[in-house]
Structure 1
C-alpha cells in the first residue's frame, strides 16, 4: 500500500470499518439484549422467513461490493492526483470550518440526487430491476449489515459512482471526504437496521430514516420512497413520496403503515 498516502488509505478504508463496526453494534444489541426489542420493525422470525438471501450470501455480497468500492476509490484518487485538481490532495493547509461544512452540504446534495434518480431508474426499467436491483430486495426484512447487499453492478452505479461524483463536485480534501463517507455509511446502515428508536439522533435529524426506507422495502412499496440516504426532497418534488405511521405491532415491536391512497407516482 506504499503507493497510497495516509489520507488516501483512511478515505478508502474508513467506510468499510465504520460499516462493520456500526452494523456489529446493532447486531450485538439485538442478539444479546432486549433494549431494542420494543423498537424492532422485524422479528428474527421475519428475517428468516421473508428474506430470500441468506446471511452468508449477504456477507459475501457486501464484501465484494466493498472491494470494488475500494478499488474505484483508489482509481479516482490517483486519477485526480495526476489531474488539474491534484493540488487538493496534496494540500496540508486545513480549510475553515464553514468551507468544510459547505463542501459537506454539496456532497450530500449530489449524493442524494444521483442515488434517487439511479435508484428510481433501477425500479423503472424491468431488465435493470430483474437483473440487478432485485438482489437488494431479496432482503425484505432489512437488518444492519445488509445495507450494502446487492448486485455489484447496482452497487457501482448507485453507490460507488454517486460517492465519486459527490467527492469530485464538492472539492473536499481526502481527510474531509473520509469523515463524510464514514458518516454516509453509518447513515446507510442505520436506514436498514430495522430499528426505529425515537432517541436515535439520526432519526431526529433526518426525515429519511429507517421507517421511511422500510416503506420502500415493503411489498408494493417499490415505486415509493426512493430517496436515500439523507433527504426526502426528490420524492416530494416528483410525486413518489409515501407518508406513513409507526404503530405498535402484535409482536411487541413496531410496524410501519404506509398510506398508499395519499401517494402519487409520476
Structure 2
C-alpha cells in the first residue's frame, strides 16, 4: 500500500517536472525582418482606420471635398489594392536586402533627419520630372501608379536608407513614419487635433492641391516638408474655406530635423 502511494506521488511529481521543463515556444523576429514587415502592417492598419473614419457621416464636415466627389474616381478599390500588394512585394525584397549588414548601431536621430531630407529631395525632383516629361506623365504617372510607387517610394526609401547611414533599427522607425505620413497626406480628411497637421506644413490639405487641375503644376513635395516647393517656386498655399481664413501649417518640423541632424 505504501509503495503504491509512493509511486503515485512520484508519478505526479515527475509530471509536474516534465511540464516545467517543457521548452517555451516564442516567436522572435529579427530587426531586419521586422523592418521589412512592420511598415506594411502599419500601412494596412492606418489605411483601414481612415477607411473606417471616412465611412462615418458624422465626420463629413471634416472632408476636404464632398462625399459625392469620390464617385468621380475612375480607379476601383480592387485595382488599388492589387497595385499596393505588388509594390509591397518588391518593397519586402528591397528591405531585406538593405537590412542585411553589419552589427546594428543604436538609435541615431541624425540619420533620421538626413533620411527625411534625402527622401524629400528624391521624391520632389522625380515627381516633378514625371509631370514635366509628357511621355512619362501620359504613360506612367497618370496610368501606372504601381510603377510610380516603386520609383518614388521604394527606390527613394532605399536611397534614403543607404545615404543617411541608417541601421535596421533606424529603418524600422523611418519607413513606418514615412508610411503613416504618406497615408495621412492622401486621406482626404482634416481631422481636428491631428498632430501631423500641426507639425508638418506638408499635409493632406497641402498635397490635395496637387491633385486638383488648378494645382497640378504645384506642391510636388512629399512626404515630409515643403522646402523644395518653396525653393523651386512651385509652392501654393492651401486654404480651409470653412474657417474663412488662409491656414498655413507650421514648418516646426524643419527646425526639429535640422537640430536632429546637428546632434548626430
TM-score by length of 2: 0.77
Structure 1 residue matching 2:241: 3-state secondary structure:
strand
Counterpart mapping for 1:133-144 below 5 A: 133-135=141-143
Which structure has greater helix proportion? Answer: 2
Contact kept in structure 2, 1:29 and 1:35, CA below 8 Å: no
Following the alignment from structure 1 to structure 2, what is the Cα–Cα distance between the partners of residues 36 and 177? 34
Following the alignment from structure 1 to structure 2, what is the Cα–Cα distance between the partners of residues 47 and 204? 26
Equivalent of 2:136 in 128, 153, 175: 128
Which residue pairs with 1:229 in the alignment? 223
Task: State the number of aligned residues.
Answer: 219
CA drift at 1:222: 1.6
- Which structure 2 residue ranges, 5 or more long, are not aligned? 1-28, 248-264
Bigger Rg, which one: 2
Equivalent of 1:36 in 22, 45, 59: 59
Contact kept in structure 1, 2:187 and 2:204, CA below 8 Å: yes
Is 2:91 aligned against 1:69? Answer: yes
Contact kept in structure 1, 2:122 and 2:156, CA below 8 Å: yes
Contact kept in structure 1, 2:106 and 2:169, CA below 8 Å: no
Equivalent of 1:45 in 45, 58, 68: 68
Which residue pairs with 1:185 in the alignment? 179
Following the alignment from structure 2 to structure 1, what is the Cα–Cα distance between the partners of residues 57 and 109? 37
Counterpart mapping for 1:1-266 below 5 A: 6-31=30-55, 33-48=56-71, 50-78=72-100, 81=101, 87=102, 90-91=103-104, 94-95=106-107, 100-135=108-143, 150-248=144-242
CA drift at 1:35: 4.5
Structure 2 residue matching 1:242: 3-state secondary structure:
coil
Following the alignment from structure 1 to structure 2, what is the Cα–Cα distance between the partners of residues 34 and 156? 34
Following the alignment from structure 1 to structure 2, what is the Cα–Cα distance between the partners of residues 172 and 76? 10
Following the alignment from structure 1 to structure 2, what is the Cα–Cα distance between the partners of residues 57 and 240? 31
Say what the alpha-carbon RMSD is for the aligned residues: 2.2
